[in-house]
Each structure stands twice: as structure tokens, then as C-alpha cells.
Amino acid sequence: MDAVQSDVLVLGGGVIGLTCALALLHRGASVRVLERAEPGAGASHGNCGTLTPSHAIPLTLPGMPWKALRWMLHRDAPLYVNPKPDWARWRWLLGFARRCDLALAERAAIARAALLQRSAALLPQVLTAEGIECEYSATGTLYVYHDGRTLANDRREIGWLTRLGVAAEALRGDQVEAMEPALLPGVAGGILHPDDAQLRPDRLVDGLARRVRECGGVIEIGAAVDGFRCAGNRVAAVVTAHGEFAGERVLLALGAWTPGVARQLGLKVPIQPGKGYSITTSRPAPCPRRALVLREPSVCVTAWGSGYRLGSTMEFSGYDARLNRTRLDALRRGAAAYLKAPFGAELKEEWWGWRPMCVDEKPLIGPSSRWRNLVLATGHGMLGVSMSAATAELVAALVAGDRPVLDPAPYAPARFGL
Ligand SMILES: Cc1cc2nc3c(=O)[nH]c(=O)nc-3n(C[C@H](O)[C@H](O)[C@H](O)COP(=O)(O)OP(=O)(O)OC[C@H]3O[C@@H](n4cnc5c(N)ncnc54)[C@H](O)[C@@H]3O)c2cc1C
């Protein structure tokens, strides 16, 4: 039987696959999304939903490998690396450690800031134009500190962020407590990032999936990509349990699952799953007015009209699909040290997700240098929601052969020979 044909086959129905699908549909392409489970079944479901140009500075900073080694000794530290032997994980970690260099981090920060700022400008326009209601609000992010040393350290990054065009304002402890009556006393200070925003990520994904269908796109639910048929240097067909599908272009947007699938095309994608957790409850009283980052335990707090979430932690333990109670308890403990009412009365969901962590802290966006009709949009790490709209704009322009608004060079998969 002939493979079902589309202009663009999108592999993966997370926030990246769906925003790209919608942008491509608006350019007149026929689009089919192949999704293993259902839209938003991966990291795009229970994340914190913050939109953060404030995260432009990458994790690949000098000193980070030593910090990570110290944290390895504590199972409830904000970052945990499972020390068990796993060649792929250790190769990735060594690659990451090699990139912990100031000059490289400065280049990565410029590339990340460009994508984050463009996305921050585009996303509210997309939500309005598409009629997607996902509790978007541009109320900024407030970092809250108990420890003066951590605060002093982070304040040094304000100048760097300002040079990148990201607003950041240092606040005294009493100013932070006055801004956020939900906080317990004892705040040493804060940093406000007024350009950040927040939304409810599961509602974003639902809205995107609805609009993809309304615009004529097809989402094949339960169509796990099992393999490929190749002809010369083209991907001729994608093989799934639902049959074979072909595309003039094939967009690989499988988040943390990208390496396993791409290996079947001979591509070694330098992504590891960075597992994170979240707890969703009803709104507590008093409830924070804006997104908070409780800095020492690294807990992100997001409150929407419809609920409240504690999230974060970063665990490198491969594709381990268990819900780790220690990590969830660390979120609860972290919140209890800072907030008068750390969670709401009704528990709605305990969740984990795999962030697609690219070894150089920049996403992989653009054509494959190996396969003529393959395009990648993956590896967004901690920032997939924040970078989604600009990623989609870039992918749609590259597929159409137009000159993109952003310079695509820093994100090119060719930097890893992909
Ligand atoms: C705790 C936590 C908090 C976070 N907070 C934020 C935040 O505040 N702001 C932010 O910007 N980002 C945040 N992130 C990161 C963000 O969630 C991710 O960067 C983003 O969701 C990645 O989107 P994606 O579409 O690339 O991947 P995913 O959402 O994981 O989508 C990949 C999709 O591919 C599907 N798939 C997998 N294998 C196959 C296959 N073989 N065939 C077909 N389909 C397949 C999966 O089912 C999934 O739906 C957070 C992440 C976590 C874990």
C-alpha cells in the first residue's frame, strides 16, 4: 500500500510539534502530526508554564560541573545525576562539562536570548489570533532568596542580562515581602524579571491541537514512529503502527525521545532526558500574585485562576519512568520554607516529564545536513514553551525557503553533523 502523503509530516505532538504544525498550515502546507500517545503527552503537559527571557544565560557556566558533583551526593538536591554506569549519559555529561566555558556560554546566551525574546513577543499575538485561552498573563517572574550569598552571586548576572536586553531589577527583602504577601518573613532579597509571563501549558497544548485540526491539519493519535524507509538521501516514509506516512518534509519534534528515533536514521542527537516534577493543587490562600522562583531549593511556583503548581528539579537518570517521591517531597519542603500556604487543599496531579536537554544548551532547529527532506526542532531543554512561537516561525520560514527573521545559524543541527 502507498504511504499517505503530506507536504510536512510532523513527528511529535508536544508544544514544539504543534506550534510548528500551525505555522506551516498558515503558510498553506498540508500537515500531518504523528503522535505516539495524545497531544501534550510528554513534557508539554505538566511543566511550570513560565515564559522566561530571564533564563537566557545557559547552565553551561564555569564551575557548574563541580556544583553538579557536590549535588550528586544528595538525592533531593535541585540537580541530581544518577551515578550508575550509562555510556550515553556519561558521554553527554562529559560533553556538557567541556562546554562549561565563559566564552561559549556568552555565545549560547545571545542565541537563547534572541529566540526567547522573539517568542515572548510572538506568543501573545499567536494566542489572540488563534483564540487560544490558556490563562496567559504578563506579570513577570520574581526570584526570592533566603541566602544573601546566593543573592549576591545572582545579582552579578543582572549586568549580563541587561546587555542581552533582558530586564532584571534587584529588590530588598522588605520590598519583596510587600510585593508578595503570600511569602513568609525572612526574605533576604529578590530579583524581578518584568518581561517574563506565564500560561497554563496543558491548555496551551489543547488549544494548539484544536487549531491544527480546524486549520485542516491531521493529528494521528497513537501513531508511534517505529522506523523509516529511506531512498538515497531522502526519508521516503515514516513507519508507524498505523501504517506508513510520507512527507515532502519530515519534521523531527520528538523532544526527549528524539535520540532513540533519530538513531534509526544514523543520527547521534546529543540530547539527554532531564527529568523534572510538578505538583498541581487548587489555589492556596494566600496565593502568590505572580510566578515565583524560590531560589535556594529551585522551586518554581505558578498560580493561575484555575489552579496552582510547584515544579522543577533536574534529574539525569536516563529514561527512568518512575515517579520519585523524594523529588516530590523536595518540592513540598522547598515551598513550605518560603510560603505561608505552600499548597492548596485539593491535590490535582503529581507529574514528571523529560526535558529534552541538548548538550550545548541551545535547541536544534533547522535542516538536517545528512537527510535532504529532514528538519529538526528539538532540544529546547528547560525552555520549550518559552521558545515555541519563535521556533515555529523559524521552521516555517526555513521549510518555505524564505529568509527567517532570526539568524538560524546558532541553532543549526549541522553543528553536530546531524
Ligand atoms: C518540571 C518541568 C518544568 C518545566 N517548566 C517549563 C517552563 O516553565 N517554561 C518552559 O518554557 N519550559 C518548561 N519546561 C520544559 C518544557 O516542558 C519542554 O522544553 C517542552 O515541553 C518540550 O516540548 P517538545 O514538544 O519538544 O517535547 P514533548 O512535549 O515531550 O513532546 C514530544 C512528543 O513526542 C511524542 N513521542 C515520543 N516518542 C514518539 C514516537 N516514537 N512516535 C510519535 N510520537 C512520539 C511524545 O508522546 C510527546 O507528545 C519544563 C519541563 C519540566 C519537566
DSSP per position, 54-117: GG-S-S--TTHHHHHHHHTT-TTSSEEE--S--HHHHHHHHHHHHT--HHHHHHHHHHHHHHHH
The SS3 of residue 267 is coil
Longest Cα separation, the chain: 70
Residue 89 above 70 pLDDT?
Answer: yes
- The pLDDT, as a whole number, for residue 313 is 87
Tens digit of pLDDT for each residue in 287-301?
Answer: 999 999 999 999 999
Question: What integer is the mean pLDDT of 44-65?
Answer: 96
* Ligand 1 pocket residue status of 16, Cβ below 6 Å: yes
pTM: 0.98
Left, alpha or beta for 232 (phi > 0: left; psi -120 to 50: alpha)? Answer: left
Residue 69 above 90 pLDDT?
Answer: no
Residue whose CA is at the smallest distance from ligand 1 atom 34 = 12
The SS3 of residue 271 is strand
Average pLDDT, the chain: 96
Question: What integer is the mean pLDDT of 172-199?
Answer: 98
How far is residue 385's CA from residue 380's CA, in Å, rounded to a whole number?
Answer: 9
Tens digit of pLDDT for each residue in 34-51?
Answer: 999 999 999 999 999 999
Question: What integer is the mean pLDDT of 339-361?
Answer: 98
Question: What integer is the mean pLDDT of 235-241?
Answer: 96
- The pLDDT, as a whole number, for residue 394 is 98
How far is residue 363's CA from residue 348's CA, in Å, rounded to a whole number?
Answer: 31
- The pLDDT, as a whole number, for residue 70 is 80
Find the 148 Cα to ligand 1 centroid distance in Å.
34
Query: What is the domain-level CATH number for residue 276?
Result: 3.50.50.60
Atom of ligand 1 nearest to the CA of 278: 1
* Ligand 1 pocket residue status of 418, Cβ below 6 Å: no
Tens digit of pLDDT for each residue in 109-127?
Answer: 999 999 999 999 999 999 9
Tens digit of pLDDT for each residue in 241-275?
Answer: 899 999 999 999 999 999 999 999 999 999 999 99
- The pLDDT, as a whole number, for residue 1 is 60
Task: Write the burial class of residue 347 (CB in 10 Å: 0-12 exposed, 13-18 middle, 19+ buried).
Answer: exposed
- The pLDDT, as a whole number, for residue 52 is 98
Find the 41 Cα to ligand 1 centroid distance in Å.
8
The C-alpha cell at 185 is 518573613
> Which of these, 344, 309, 346, lies nearest to 328 by C-alpha position?
309
What share of the chain has pLDDT > 90, as a percent? 92
C-beta separation of 411 from 375 below 8 A:
no
Find the 15 Cα to ligand 1 centroid distance in Å.
7
C-beta separation of 250 from 334 below 8 A:
no
Find the 180 Cα to ligand 1 centroid distance in Å.
30
Tens digit of pLDDT for each residue in 123-179?
Answer: 999 999 999 999 999 999 999 999 999 999 999 999 999 999 999 999 999 999 999
The C-alpha cell at 31 is 500537515
C-beta separation of 333 from 297 below 8 A:
yes
Domain housing 244: 4-416
C-beta separation of 312 from 298 below 8 A:
yes
Residue whose CA is at the smallest distance from ligand 1 atom 21 = 44
> Which of these, 3, 32, 4, lies nearest to 18 by C-alpha position?
32
Number of domains in the chain: 1
Give the orientation angle of helix 102-130 with respect to helix 388-400, to 10 degrees. Answer: 90
DSSP string, 198-216: E--HHHHHHHHHHHHHHTT
Find the 111 Cα to ligand 1 centroid distance in Å.
21
The C-alpha cell at 331 is 518540592
